[in-house]
Structures are given as structure tokens and as C-alpha cells.
Amino acid sequence: MSSQDDSGISFSISNDQQNFRLLELPPSLLELIASEHPPVLYLKSEQPNSGAASAPTPTAVICTHDHTFEVRQVQSSNILYILQPSSNGLDNGIDSSSLSGVTAIGQCKALLELVPVQTQSVHFLRNAIPIYNEKKFLPDIHQQTSETRSKQVLLTNAPFSTAEFEAAWTELCAFEIEDEAWRPSASQLEQIWASFMTATTIRGIDVTNTFQYVDRILTVEEDCWDEAMPQAILRRLSSDHENTMEGWVLIDRVKCVQWVGRVYLEVLCHGSKRAPPNFLQLWKDHLPERWREDAKLDLLQAFFTDLGHGSITFKDHSLTATNAGVRAPAVSTTSKNKSKWHDRFKRTRT
């Protein structure tokens, strides 16, 4: 007969139960953390809006420099025990080295998982940053208001990564004056662009090639525009942000043509109006001569609604965005299986 000890593994439950939260990482993030140079992770959450009684409960996110993962709690009908090696050999008068066991020191009835999300960062910043008020910066009037915050404060409270924040900041042509963040309205963008085109034409500057942007190229003092506003527009249209910061600008042709068309369509359709029949010609008139023929309605498909009979109106995406305004779950083929993580664990047992 076999003399093998068939007593099995000793199992006990500790009276002093500890609290644990298990966090399941997506493979992409796990690979980064396990790499030679792991990234810094940021745990963030949207700052609650005390003025909105129906505002959704802020959700925690974990961010790398350029990706955002929403933290979700997944309930399970099974109880997961957290074990640590132990031995009860001494209690039975047996050599502890001959009998090993495990002790449950905690239980987990829920699992935290990280889900990649496509953030609605542009919508979030559009709501968080007020439209620039030129009268506020006239002499002897300037004073900081409760609605304005610095760029750093906005970034700290934005529930998405730094790279997504910077992309949205650039998209909105946002800028900062005296530690206050502002964004221009469509009407202000239209006026600044018109002034910029006039000024560069008078000075013989070819904006279709690389040019040097000098301070006060626009009559900003007469128009009450701060110099940060045209710089923000050029950063939005530039194909090289680093050179733009150094004073040299190369405007991206495709970006510029589409952006000018969208801005003018929004201005002309303000108040749910239809675009005028000569909208296409007006669009071309505000472009550099070499790029005029690039103005085609196909470039604005995402920004207008076809009313039929050749009429269009501006499509305001800020009205169709979700109330949360910060996240939309990324499409994942594994999300359905994630809720049954214990089934996957069971299949790995041998």
C-alpha cells in the first residue's frame, strides 16, 4: 500500500480579516508597468459641480501620459479568498515542516477593472473654460472671477490624460492670461482670422509657406485682442507646434481650410439660421489664394446638417454630447467576458 500522506492541504480562516481590493489591468497597461521604464500613473476624478443638482457622480480614472482608463467595480456571485501560506502542525503536535496549509486572511466580493475610454475632452473643456471677455481686460477693470481657473488647475481636475487635455486645449484655441484660462467664441475667431489675413497680405507674408510670426503682427491693441489669441489659433493650425512656440509657423493646409470653413459656417448660422446660398464663395474669400479651390463641402460633413433643397445649417456638437462630457467606453470585444472573470480563472486550472 502507498504510504503517501493523503491529508491534503490544511485550510483555515483567520479571525482577523483584512480589507483588499483587487485591480485587474488590461494587457496594454500591464505591459507598460512591467517595462524597463514604467510610466507614472495618475488617479484622477472630475471635480463635482456643486451648482448642478442633477450632475452625474464623478468616476475615478487612472491615466498614463496619453491614455485614460475608467475604474469600474465588477460584482461577483462567488467569494474570492485571499490566502497566505500557513501551517497548523504545531497545534497537532506534528512537525510543521511536514504539513503545509493556507489561511484566508481576507475576502473579495468585487473586482476593480480598468476599462480604456475615449474621453470627450473637448466637450469637457468647452464647458469648463469661459469665453474670452475683452472688456474684462481693459485698464483698471481686471479682476479674477470665480468662473476662471488656470490651465494647471483645469488639468489637475480633468478626468483624462495630459496628452488628451493638450489636444482639446489646442482644438478650442484656448489660451491663458494672468493665470486665467479663456477660449474665443466663433465670432472672435472669425474676426481674428480676418485681421490676420489682412495684416499678412499688407506685409507681403506668404502664409502658405513657413513664415516668422512676430509680436504685434495684428493691431491687437485697437481690436482688444490679447496676443495670446492669434498665437492660439496659429498653434491650432500649425503642423509643428514646437516651431510655433519658437516663432516660426507652417500652417497645415488641410487643417486650415477645414477650420476656416467650420468657423464661418458656425458664425453665419448662429441662432439656428441657414447658411447663405453663397457660403462656399464666402469660405473661399477667407482663404489664401493658393488654397481657395480646396474649399469643398465634403470637408465639413461632420459639422453641418443638410436641410434639403441645397440648404445647410451648422451642427452644434456641444448640444449632442453626453451630460457627463468626459468619457465614452472604448469598443472592446472582451468587455462581455470581463464580467465572468472567475470563469476564465476556472478554465486555467489544471
pLDDT in tens, 226-262: 888 988 999 999 987 655 556 788 999 999 999 999 9
Higher-confidence position of 62 and 19: 62
Whether the per-residue pLDDT at 69 is higher than 90: the answer is yes
How many residues are present in the chain?
Answer: 350
Confidence bin at 53 (pLDDT 50/70/90): very low
Sign (positive or negative) of CA dihedral 68, 72, 78, 79: positive
Average pLDDT over the chain, rounded to an integer: 80
Q: Give pLDDT, residue 226.
A: 81
Q: Give pLDDT, residue 235.
A: 92
Confidence bin at 121 (pLDDT 50/70/90): very high
Task: Name the DSSP letter for residue 224.
Answer: T
Question: Going by C-beta distance under 8 Å and a sequence separation of 6 or more, which residues neighbour residue 211?
Answer: 200, 205, 248, 249
pLDDT in tens, 189-216: 999 999 999 888 888 889 999 988 765 5
Instruction: Give CA–CA dist 7/2, Å, rounded.
Output: 13
Q: Give pLDDT, residue 166.
A: 96
In sequence order, the β-bridge partners of residue 73 are 112
Q: What would the mean pLDDT of 116-132 be, rounded to a whole number? A: 92
pLDDT in tens, 144-171: 444 679 999 999 999 999 999 999 999 9
Q: Give pLDDT, residue 254.
A: 96
Instruction: Give CA–CA dist 135/142, Å, rounded.
Output: 9
Instruction: Give CA–CA dist 62/30, Å, rounded.
Output: 13
pLDDT in tens, 321-335: 544 444 555 544 344
Higher-confidence position of 73 and 334: 73
Closest by CA position to 232, among listed 286, 184, 179, 264:
184
C-beta atoms surrounding 55 within 10 Å: 13
Q: Give pLDDT, residue 126.
A: 94
Q: Give pLDDT, residue 137.
A: 52
pLDDT in tens, 1-40: 444 555 678 888 888 888 888 889 999 999 999 999 999 9
Q: 70-74, long-range: CB within 8 Å, 24+ apart, which pairs?
A: 70/114, 70/115, 70/117, 70/327, 70/329, 71/112, 71/113, 71/114, 72/112, 72/113, 72/114, 72/115, 73/110, 73/111, 73/112, 74/110, 74/111, 74/112, 74/113, 74/338, 74/339, 74/341
Whether the per-residue pLDDT at 134 is higher than 80: the answer is no
Model's pTM, two decimal places? 0.78
Closest by CA position to 215, among listed 230, 203, 195:
230
Q: Give pLDDT, residue 345.
A: 47
